[in-house]
Amino acid sequence: MGLDYCGVVAGFAYFANHHVPSLIKIQSVYDCGGVMSEEAKRTIVMPGAQFREQLKEEMIAGTFKALLLFDIDELRRVNVQAGFEVGDKILALAERFFEGKGWKGFRTGGDEFGVIITTSGPGFNSEAFHGEIVKFLTDNVGFKVRISGGGLQHPGADYGIFPEMDDLMVSTAHQLLIKAKHLGRNRVVWLPHDSVESTELMALTVRFYKELARVNASVGRQMEMESRIDFLTGLYNRRGFEDLFHTMIQVSQRHMRPMALLYMDSDSLKTTNDTRGHDAGDQFIRTIASILKEVVRGSDFISRWAGDEFAVIVEPASDEQALALGERIRVAVEEGTDGTLSIGIFCGIPDSTEAAVTAADQALYRAKEKGKNRVELATG
């Protein structure tokens, strides 16, 4: 039974000299045996980047459904026996076939084509596709034309599809095309639909899913990390701060060891943005972040809380140590930038994240009320 898909966007890829994971090695298999007309050679120039970009766009948009690579069987024999003009006609007819279906079809090199199947656009059925294109080519050239292909379906809801997977997806589809030729040509092999047909296909399927799981784990970890990092300063953002602060509070409570939270806010970012522009404001924020990295110990934790607000966690710390650090930060910002900071400090063993942040915020408010550019310690 064929595989039904909701739409197709065809693209093209140039595989020569393109890096792919060592797990699945791309091989160059063209029936033309390296013998190509000038028309065929011209189709190899430049399309790879566009195909990859299209594939990545579908992955990002969440519309990727499957990938199909196919080529014309025994094109070399056609070129030798009937002439390059006939071979070129077959290639041009294949492109016309895509156009007639409302798909965009392009050669990936020589006699090979690539198709990106998506969740929107004209319908697509794998079994019908093979029969229809073979009939179309045969009817228009007057003799039997055969094609072989390899297709790769979306692996399912348990796996994410990320742009970083384009090498894996394309190289696997190319290996399936090769397997189709080994199994007798004139057919399309789909993964995982046809995996049980041979031990080689099953082994390829297993390797693909292992690599897919590895990439998912790697990308997942990277995305998880990026969700906790502030892109402007490279510091942890509020989410990253709250995750770590919660853990540090538990340690402080368990060992009865006081810690300090320094909560600080720029006194002058709005003025900088209004008078010099937001680019200058961004640079001011980056400079404050750099100063904090220089002044604060490497074992302490720095976060850009939001906007022009920063937080520093120091553990262990006494009132005197926290106040001294706050003063060093205040002076360094005043001397190293065109602006100033006000700082509120909580020091002790916090009952919760909310309690510590509230106390530090109230101290910061008092620092602002008393004229800004100063350090205040939470009381009570």
* pLDDT exceeds 60 at position 40: no
pLDDT of residue 155: 79
pLDDT of residue 246: 83
pLDDT digits (tens, 9 = 90+) for 216-255: 777 766 666 667 788 888 888 888 888 788 888 888 888 8
Nearest to 366 by CA among 376, 358, 356: 376
Confidence of residue 376 (pLDDT cuts 50, 70, 90): very high
Q: E strands, 43-123, where? A: 64-72, 106-109, 112-118
Confidence of residue 206 (pLDDT cuts 50, 70, 90): confident
| E strand or H helix that includes residue 125 | strand 124-125
Could you tell me if residue 232 is inside a domain? no
Looking at residues 41-48, what average pLDDT do you find? Answer: 40
pLDDT of residue 143: 92
CATH number, domain of 193, equals 3.30.70.270
pLDDT of residue 25: 29
Residue that finishes a domain, picked among 226, 256, 286: 226
- Mean pLDDT across the chain, nearest whole number? 79
Highest mean pLDDT among 128-132, 185-189, 231-235, 349-353: 349-353
Q: Give yes or no: residues 151 and 257 share one domain.
A: no
Please say whether the beta carbons of 230 and 285 come within 8 A.
Answer: no
pLDDT of residue 197: 61
Could you tell me if residue 248 is inside a domain? yes
What is the C-alpha separation between 56 and 63, in angstroms, rounded? 10
Structure tokens at 3: 């595989």
Structure tokens at 274: 């209004």
pLDDT, greater one: 343 or 305:
343
* pLDDT exceeds 60 at position 127: yes
**What contacts 232, CB < 8 A, 6 or more positions away?**
282, 285, 286, 289, 304
CB atoms within 10 A of CB 214: 13
Residue that finishes a domain, picked among 226, 253, 286: 226
Confidence of residue 188 (pLDDT cuts 50, 70, 90): confident
**What contacts 151, CB < 8 A, 6 or more positions away?**
3, 66, 67, 68, 69, 117, 126, 173, 176, 188, 189, 190, 191
DSSP letter string, 251-315: HHHHHT--EEEEEEEESSHHHHHHHH-HHHHHHHHHHHHHHHHHHS-TTSEEEEEETTEEEEEES
Looking at residues 267-282, what average pLDDT do you find? Answer: 86
Total number of domains constituting the chain: 2
Looking at residues 190-211, what average pLDDT do you find? Answer: 74
Helix (H, G, I), strand (E, B) or coil at 229: strand
Confidence of residue 279 (pLDDT cuts 50, 70, 90): confident
pLDDT, greater one: 42 or 53:
53
Confidence of residue 192 (pLDDT cuts 50, 70, 90): confident
What is the C-alpha separation between 94 and 106, in angstroms, rounded? 9
pLDDT of residue 22: 28
Residue 169 sits in which domain range? 4-226
Q: Give yes or no: residues 352 and 257 share one domain.
A: yes
pLDDT, greater one: 143 or 209:
143
* pLDDT exceeds 50 at position 24: no
Nearest to 305 by CA among 356, 350, 348: 356
Q: Give yes or no: residues 150 and 27 share one domain.
A: yes
Confidence of residue 335 (pLDDT cuts 50, 70, 90): very high
Confidence of residue 104 (pLDDT cuts 50, 70, 90): low
What is the C-alpha separation between 87 and 77, in angstroms, rounded? 9
Structure tokens at 228: 């906790």
Burial profile 8-45: b = 16 or more Cβ within 10 angstroms, e = fewer:
bbbbbbbbeeeebbeebebeebbbbeeebeeebeebbe
What is the C-alpha separation between 37 and 39, in angstroms, rounded? 5
Q: Give yes or no: residues 133 and 252 share one domain.
A: no
pLDDT of residue 124: 75
DSSP symbol at 197? G
pLDDT of residue 121: 66
Helix (H, G, I), strand (E, B) or coil at 207: helix
Could you tell me if residue 8 is inside a domain? yes
Confidence of residue 141 (pLDDT cuts 50, 70, 90): very high
Q: Give yes or no: residues 215 and 323 share one domain.
A: no
Q: Give yes or no: residues 207 and 243 share one domain.
A: no
pLDDT of residue 274: 82
pLDDT, greater one: 7 or 313:
313
* Residue whose entry in the numeric block shows the structure tokens 């106040």: 323
Looking at residues 284-302, what average pLDDT do you find? Answer: 89
Q: Give yes or no: residues 74 and 211 share one domain.
A: yes
Q: Give yes or no: residues 244 and 207 share one domain.
A: no
| Type of residue at 170 | V
Confidence of residue 340 (pLDDT cuts 50, 70, 90): very high
Looking at residues 94-110, what average pLDDT do you find? Answer: 76
